[in-house]
Amino acid sequence: MDGSRKTILLVDDNATNLTAGKNILKDQYKVYPTPSAEIMFDLIEKITPDMILLDIEMPDMNGYEAIKKLKDNPKWGDIPVMFLTSKTDEGSELEGLSLGAIDYVAKPFSAPLLLKRIENHLLTESQKKQLRDFNNNLEDMVRRKTMQVTNLQNAVLNTVADLVEFRDDITGGHVSRTQKYLKILLDEMIAEEVYIDEISDWDMDYLIPSAQLHDVGKIAISDMILNKPDKLTQEEFETMKKHVEIGVKAIQKIEKNAEEHSFLKHARLIAGGHHEKWDGSGYPIGLSGRDIPLEGRLMAIADVYDALISKRPYKRPFNTDEARRIIEESSGSHFDPALVEVFSKVADQFAEVVRNSTYY
């Protein structure tokens, strides 16, 4: 029986008030008569009351000081506090409520009125706790469902990216490495506040995985071109270039049949923009400067760097120092100068990715 009762701390420096209050409450609640705020703080280290009935006018630490200390501590801040006081002026009541008290009962108090107010407030607190628990459980459920969807999305992306790499068997590890390069660039951009107004709106949990689709259009390119051991002819290169438009159309088709999602938007802009060049000489549209989506300008650096350090039948792999020099020398022609400056600061991290790669 006693274990189901709510616990109340009755804090008052007047022994008569403590006795009277305990006699009123003891049949319905577990009551701890407490003669000072200092003792109250010692007591709540051992028990957590459901409510504190707190006198205002006490020596050493008054009720206002005590409630401030309670509310400043995360362990105790949610404990409801009701002031019991002989002060009846409006200013005192307003001050108590502004400090976080849930009610203000004047002494000498009516036993039935005090019991009813305590009952009502405890019921309200119980309902608030139930609502908090419900919201927390709902948030946990939403997080779990979101994680399931995200994991499924990433699994599909990984599978599609693997299909591209299985067909384009001379670029093993390219997708994984370019994702890491992008993450390095973005971390430095945030630290340096480069294009910060634009990237601050990006969800990196979707942007980085979306980069896996940058070459998805290669699925539609003939194996004879995709895996040709020699350098492509001009005609073959024109065919290869079509992978960009094919990839963009594939992503747009998904967008039409799905709710608007940032990872699809990022994927489309990366796929469509990573072969454009700062000076307008790229493809498929010939965009220049900031007309090229920022996602595409970023991927251009990651993509070209990885192509440079990778072995091809028609070329030797450049070492990381050579790849760095080529990227830096292409600032303002192939690449966004501001992004090349960022790249130069993290080029050693790019090189570390290459050294840790199992295949390139």
What are the DSSP calls for 125-165, one per residue? HHHHHHHHHHHHHHHHHHHHHHHHHHHHHHHHHHHHHHHHH
Q: With 90 as the cut, is the pLDDT of residue 231 above it?
A: no
CATH classification of the domain holding 264? 1.10.3210.10
Encoded tokens for 30: 């577990």
With respect to residue 333, please indicate whether it lies within any of the assigned structural domains: yes
User: Going by DSSP bridges, is the β-strand pair 51-55/103-106 parallel, antiparallel, or unpaired?
Assistant: unpaired
- 297 lies in a domain? yes
What is the DSSP code string of 73-90? Answer: STTTTTS-EEEEES---H
Range of the domain at 270: 168-356
Q: Are residues 132 and 172 in the same domain?
A: no
Band (162; pLDDT cuts 50, 70, 90): low
Q: Answer whether residue 65 is part of any domain.
A: yes
In 3-state terms, what secondary structure has residue 326?
helix
pLDDT (tens digit per residue) in 264-295: 899 999 999 999 999 999 999 999 999 999 99
Same domain, 6 and 94: yes
Number of domains composing the chain: 2
Residue 163 lies in a domain: no
Residue finishing a domain among 137, 154, 189: 137
CB–CB of 42/18 below 8 Å?
Answer: no
What one-letter code names the amino acid at 230?
D
Tell me: do 295 and 338 sit in the same domain.
Answer: yes
- Per cent of the chain over pLDDT 70 is 89
Asked whether the whole model's pTM tops 0.75, one would answer: no
* 236 shares its domain with 191: yes
Whether residue 32 is predicted with pLDDT greater than 90 in this model: the reply is yes
d(CA 210, CA 266): 6
Interval 42-63 mean pLDDT: 92
Mean pLDDT, rounded, of the chain: 87
On the question of pLDDT at 168 being above 60, the answer is: no
350 shares a domain with 210: yes
Residues 101 and 53 sit within 8 Å (Cβ to Cβ):
no
Mean pLDDT of 14-34: 92
Q: Which residues face 52 on adjacent strands? A: 9, 81
Q: What is the pLDDT of residue 165?
A: 63
What local confidence, expressed as pLDDT, does residue 55 receive? 92
Q: At what angle do helices 294-309 and 320-329 cross, to 10 degrees?
A: 140
Q: What is the CATH number of the domain that holds 94?
A: 3.40.50.2300
Residue 302: its pLDDT value, please? Answer: 97
**Residue 289, phi-psi category: left (phi > 0), alpha (psi -120 to 50), beta (remainder):** left
Tell me what pLDDT residue 1 has.
Answer: 44
Most distant CA atoms of the chain, gap in Å: 102
> pLDDT grade, residue 312 (50/70/90)?
confident
Whole-angstrom Cα distance, residue 322 to residue 328? 10
